[in-house]
Amino acid sequence: MEKFVIIFLFIIFSSNTYAQEKFASLGERLSVSLDGNWKIIIDPYENGYYDYRWEENPDGFFKNEKPHNKWDRIEYDFDKSVSLIVPGDWNSQRKELFLYEGTIWYKKSFNFQKRTNTRVFLRFGAVNYQAIVYLNGKKLGSHEGGFTPFSFEITQLVREKDNFIVVKVDNKRCAECVPTLNTDWWNYGGITRNVTIVETPVSFIGDYCIQLHKASFKNINGWIQVNGSRCGQPVTVDIPELKIYKRYITNSTGSLHFSFPANVKLWSPENPVLYDVILASEKDTVRDLIGFRTIETKGTQIFLNNKPVFLRGISIHEEAPFRSSRANSLDDARILLGWVKELGCNFVRLAHYPHNENMLKEADRLGLMVWSEIPVYWTIKWKSKQTYDNASLQLSEMIERDRNRASIICWSVSNETPLSKPRLEFLKGLIRQARALDSTRLITAAMERHYTDESTQMIDDPLGEFVDVLGCNEYIGWYDGLPNKADTIRWKTIYQKPLIISEFGGSALYGLHADSLTVWSEEYQESLYKHQLAMLQKIPFLSGMSPWILMDFRSPRRQLPGIQDFRNRKGLLSEHGERKKAFYVLQKYYEEIRTKQE
């Protein structure tokens, strides 16, 4: 009998019990937040993971051991250790962790009253960079990539009392990682987004996609995937405001596709209409707020809802205003995107990785079109399969999380990557994948350009052939000459496609005033913006811009004392929200083109 129980438990625990699962619209589900204080152990030598021969230690910190008698020698104790707040990066919470890159163990204890006939999942909004997750001493799995969600099923493992989750979080940079060793932003480590326990019926709506038909305003198309379903399960789509109530039946894989006529008010920056959409299977219900719009290109223009649109944008990092830490909350999103609106933007580039869900929800609500990207940045290991697989995972996790957000108009696969054949193959693979996952949005990449003579900038990166919209970063007036150099430059491309200047800019320390040729002064940055805007206006195939950047942000590459102090100063606002002179230059320009366009 005992043997039977052991075999049975072995089957449960070694089978696919802990497979990663997807959730549609988390917010509306039965869930318990595990945010708050987590106990932590700082472990620079990964002593809680490896033994002295650098082999995985079967008695690692994940066991959360305590001495049982006076001779038990346990050399760690979560409960006597310090705490960190989750969600949050560790760098901004404890002085000694400001520059820390390595392993920190997190532990959270909790009780859980599971209902009958339900399944239970543990979901992390994001952990930077690698997470190995354990529950009650059992490994659930691991995840690599710092900006996308992942979940594990814990139905069989979770108990009523005294559960403990242990997470090994490691943010060491590595050459094969995505991003790689070198970036221009702070490597904020930790459990940086919310942690939730989600309880679902045994069969639940795992994923869905609802969009306006690409080529018509008259039809809504989509699909629903029911997880754990028998085929033939009834599923309904309800949009009360449109008086739409449709009933479908799942096929043998638990999914269904639909298309029905609808007379929707289109989502746009001027009128960001969102509809309450309710999806229900036999036992499960999911609600979402969804906007309907189309996005496409014709020649060198971008069309929103069949009308040409110019993208008045700005780039943003996911850094919190006033506190210099990772942003996560709705308040952070409201402040950042509030400034974006104040600038007169209708577009925002969320650089250089997928931002938290609050940013997208706010963008949907405020009517801001969004460029969303994965951290394939600079010199990734193009020939490494591990790197490719990881980039590809981050791409699908981004698209799967956000494909119902009307605000997102384009997916970007890379930023300023140097030309080579392996790089082209790598990025073509990602583009194919993005199109297969979402055929309705535009694909782009921030590319570089080069001079064909001293006054001609040429965009002819071979990647241009495979994207829908050309993205291009340029720093004329900063890394490339003085601001007035822009007056002499003409732009050319070999492609008949719209162009977004996805970055331009220069640094200024807020409050540093001098003449317009004094580097780091607000006047230099102001002059740079004036010259840039005058140049950009003359590009006939220009469809938008997202200058670099809304707010000053932390970067380990920016060391100049008294000026940078570990901050990239290209913000139009300081980290305290003070507006620099260039802010008003861009604001005025956007106001002018907005009134011309309307």
| Total binding residues toward ligand GCB, as defined by CB under 6 A | 9
Instruction: Rank residues 182 and 597 by Cβ distance to ligand GCB and give the closer one.
Output: 182
Interatomic CA distance for residues 266 and 260, integer angstroms: 16
Q: How far is the CB of 554 from ligand GCB (least distance, A)?
A: 11
| DSSP for 514-563, written as a single string | --TTSTBSHHHHHHHHHHHHHHHTT-TTEEEE--S-SB-EE-TT---TTT
153, β-bridge pairs: 121
Instruction: Rank residues 184 and 357 by Cβ distance to ligand GCB and give the closer one.
Output: 184
Interatomic CA distance for residues 189 and 94, integer angstroms: 12
Interaction residues for ligand GCB, span 76-135 (CB under 6 A): none
Q: How far is the CB of 546 from ligand GCB (least distance, A)?
A: 11
What x-and-dash track marks residues 501-520 binding ligand GCB by CB under 6 A? --x-----------------
Please count the CA atoms within 13 angstroms of the CA of 556 that sit on its side-chain side: 12
Interatomic CA distance for residues 158 and 174, integer angstroms: 34
What b/e sequence results for 29-46 when a residue is b if at least 16 CB atoms lie within 10 Å of its CB, and e otherwise? bebeebbeebbbbbbeeb
Please count the CA atoms within 13 angstroms of the CA of 83 that sit on its side-chain side: 10
Q: How far is the CB of 356 from ligand GCB (least distance, A)?
A: 19
Instruction: Rank residues 352 and 355 by Cβ distance to ligand GCB and give the closer one.
Output: 352
Interatomic CA distance for residues 590 and 310, integer angstroms: 10
Q: How far is the CB of 134 from ligand GCB (least distance, A)?
A: 35
Instruction: Rank residues 132 and 501 by Cβ distance to ligand GCB and give the closer one.
Output: 501
Q: How far is the CB of 476 from ligand GCB (least distance, A)?
A: 12
Instruction: Rank residues 37 and 182 by Cβ distance to ligand GCB and give the closer one.
Output: 182
What x-and-dash track marks residues 33-62 binding ligand GCB by CB under 6 A? ------------------------------
Interaction residues for ligand GCB, span 5-34 (CB under 6 A): none
Judged by CB under 6 A, the residue of 570, 573, 574, 575 near ligand GCB is 570
Q: Is the bond preceding 549 in cis, omega lying within 30 degrees of 0?
A: yes
Instruction: Rank residues 153 and 552 by Cβ distance to ligand GCB and give the closer one.
Output: 552
**Residue where the block lists tokens 């529950």:** 135
| Residue nearest ligand GCB by beta-carbon distance | 184
Interatomic CA distance for residues 352 and 325, integer angstroms: 16
Amino acid found at 499: L
Instruction: Rank residues 272 and 375 by Cβ distance to ligand GCB and give the closer one.
Output: 375
Instruction: Rank residues 170 and 184 by Cβ distance to ligand GCB and give the closer one.
Output: 184
Interatomic CA distance for residues 198 and 24, integer angstroms: 11
Instruction: Rank residues 184 and 397 by Cβ distance to ligand GCB and give the closer one.
Output: 184
Q: How far is the CB of 568 from ligand GCB (least distance, A)?
A: 5
Q: In 52-194, at which residue ranges do the beta strands (DSSP E only) sit?
A: 83-86, 103-110, 118-124, 127-128, 130-135, 138-144, 150-153, 163-170, 190-191
Instruction: Rank residues 184 and 207 by Cβ distance to ligand GCB and give the closer one.
Output: 184
SS3 of 440-468: the string is: CCEEEEEECCEEEECCEEEECCHHHHCCC
Q: What angle do CA 61, 66, 70 make, to 5 degrees?
A: 135
Instruction: Rank residues 361 and 423 by Cβ distance to ligand GCB and give the closer one.
Output: 423
Instruction: Rank residues 392 and 473 by Cβ distance to ligand GCB and give the closer one.
Output: 473
Q: How far is the CB of 475 from ligand GCB (least distance, A)?
A: 7
Instruction: Rank residues 43 and 373 by Cβ distance to ligand GCB and give the closer one.
Output: 373
Q: How far is the CB of 327 from ligand GCB (least distance, A)?
A: 17
Q: How far is the CB of 453 from ligand GCB (least distance, A)?
A: 23
Q: How far is the CB of 548 from ligand GCB (least distance, A)?
A: 5
Q: How far is the CB of 491 from ligand GCB (least distance, A)?
A: 17
C-beta separation of 269 from 296 below 8 A = no
Decide if residue 473 touches ligand GCB (CB under 6 A).
Answer: yes
Q: How far is the CB of 207 from ligand GCB (least distance, A)?
A: 32
Judged by CB under 6 A, the residue of 38, 548, 583, 590 near ligand GCB is 548
Q: Is the bond preceding 355 in cis, omega lying within 30 degrees of 0?
A: no
Interaction residues for ligand GCB, span 399-438 (CB under 6 A): 415-416
Six token digits for residue 365: 């609500």
Q: For residue 543, which of 484, 487, 440, 467 has the smallest C-alpha distance? A: 467
Question: How far apart, in Å, are the Cα atoms of 41 and each of 57, 167, 187, 331?
Answer: 16, 10, 19, 30
Interaction residues for ligand GCB, span 324-383 (CB under 6 A): 352
Q: How far is the CB of 448 from ligand GCB (least distance, A)?
A: 9
What x-and-dash track marks residues 176-205 binding ligand GCB by CB under 6 A? --------x---------------------
Under the rule (CB under 6 A), what is the footprint of ligand GCB?
Answer: 184, 352, 415-416, 473, 503, 548, 568, 570
